[in-house]
Amino acid sequence: MDLPVIPAPATLTVSDETFTLTATSGVTTPPELAGPVARFVEAVAADTGLVLTGSSGITVELAAVDGVPPSTGLRADGGQTDERYGVEVSAGGVRVWGATPEGVHRGLTSLRQLISAQLHDGTAVLPATRFVDGPRFAWRGLSLDVVRTFHAPDEVRRIIDMLDLYKLNVLHLHLTDDQGWRVEVPSRPALTEVGAAGALGDRPGGYYTQQELADLVAYAADRYITVVPEIDMPGHTAAVFKAYPHLAPAEPQTVDLGNGDKLNLGTLDPARDETWSFVADVLDAVIPQFPGSAYVHIGGDETWGMSDEDHAAFVEKASGLVRERGKRVVGWQEIARAKLDPNDLVQYWLDLDIDNMPDNPDAPTPPAELLPVLVEALRKAKYDAPKALEQGAKLIVSPVTWLYFDRPHADASTDPAQEVARARLGLKFYGAASLEHGVTWDPADVVAPDQIAGVEAAIWCETITNSDDLELLLLPRIPGLAEKAWSQQTTTIWPEYAARLAQHSPAWRNRGWTWLQSTEVDWK
């Protein structure tokens, strides 16, 4: 029997007995686990409508977990917390244990999934089972673009809840880009007064106040998720130049992309003192707003029109400023063209080989003036990962081919309204991807496991106009991301996975989440 748990547990045994869980059931727990247990009870109610009012049936405790190797890679909080857990269901009740409160939380998350899948008329008949589990990789995340479309705090909390349900532990917030600036810097008020005013095209802008970010960071931390800030530089800085024109190049250039957006060819200049005063002010304001993150993401990608020498100079100085403030550096793969510290992380995304790309008849033709810029960038990209590894840095695996969730959905939907949305959502350039495609790969196919810091998907919002659009592209892809980032099972068999995935729709429906109702899955 395959339990409807995603990611798939490392070890699993099932017997013929059952345990019946009802509203009169409850949780017995030591005081030090009161927080995770309270959130479990709250989450079960949100997932299923079942409110656990009793005090027995489920026993939760701290205990050693054997039989599963510890995770590899690096955590975004800089720690070494053990997330391994065990769940045992017998006729007499349920036992959940972990070496740490975080491990217990992960175990309770699996129990949530079981309850949701087995619940009928207020009663969940759980099969007797025992499984012990732990993550393969320590960093398991999602990069969320809140710039091209601004997503308000309530929507970000919904995304945090999705990550939590699938044991993902990093939310990488892409806070700045050409289209807007989304984080307060009190010493630079024009960043939010002017730079945050818009988004892509005519979409409304916005930004997170310090209190809103503090609340989001705390909400995530309660679910053992670290929020990592990204300040994208030295490129993707048109919003900065709009707010502070004196930081802009003397003659900034743009290329019209024909979709309401334009490519900006100007970058921050590493030779100017005012550039570094600005970067220092931003870091001094942003870093304290993310106290749980050991890392600051400095972007470093797509520095159109910037010389390799200037780019390397910028990355090296910006990285030094981050380290001086007690944080570690993470950046997109292009930062590997500069000198790195072995503690830096490089986010590998460009796995496209310009000289061997498959023909995609649906891909738009780039503007003539942009094509040589793109070709040059893609040709350089193939050397980034080797350069990073040569310098001792580890990679966050985020390849476009597998983990860019702004790709169109290839699967048709059973909902006609979703078919209309599916036709416009996702960047055609990448080609459409099926849900099966999303789980038929392994991060170790990209780079050796001991060189992987973690696995992270990305969602960009060029085609996303609202929260329904966002969620339609994220679900059901997030569970597939988790399957690849967490599960010790390196091969995923699509029919078996689809059967597990089908049983997760009741929780999504109860939560009010939007998901692609793929015709390839027999949804419960």
Q: How many residues does the chain have?
A: 524
274 is catalytic: no
- Name the phi and psi angles at 410, rounded to 5: -85, -30
- Longest CA–CA span in the chain (Å) reads 74
Closest C-alpha among 298, 305, 321, 320 to residue 269: 305
Tell me which residue has tokens 């520095």: 303
For residue 507 the two structure tokens come to 């929780």
E strand or H helix that includes residue 454 = strand 452-459
Radius of gyration of the chain from its Cα atoms, rounded to whole angstroms: 23
User: Does residue 364 have a cis peptide bond before it, meaning omega lies within 30 degrees of 0?
Assistant: no
Tell me which residue has tokens 């009740």: 93
CA distance 398 to 222: 26
Give CA separation, 274 vs 238, 239, 279, 281, 309, in Å. 16, 16, 9, 11, 19
CA distance 385 to 391: 10
The catalytic residue among 302, 334, 436, 471 is 302
The answer to whether 247 and 240 have CB atoms below 8 angstroms apart is: yes
If you ran DSSP here, which 8-state letter would residue 246 be given? G
Strand pairing report for 180-181 and 176-177: antiparallel
Give CA separation, 387 vs 29, 330, 335, 397, 446, in Å. 49, 15, 10, 15, 15
Dihedral, CA atoms, 416, 418, 423, 424, nearest 10 degrees?
140
Tell me the angle at which helices 467-474 and 416-424 cross, rounded to the nearest 10 degrees: 90
Q: How far is CA 82 from the centre of its chain?
A: 20
DSSP 92-137: TEEEEEESSHHHHHHHHHHHHHHHHHHEETTEEEEEEEEEEE--SB
CA distance 298 to 275: 14
Beta bridge partners of 141: 170, 456
Cα first-last separation, the chain = 17
Strand pairing report for 345-348 and 180-181: unpaired
For residue 451 the two structure tokens come to 């060189």
DSSP 26-88: EEE--GGGHHHHHHHHHHHHHHHS----BS-EEEEEE----SSPPPBS--TTS------EEEE
What positions carry a catalytic annotation? 302
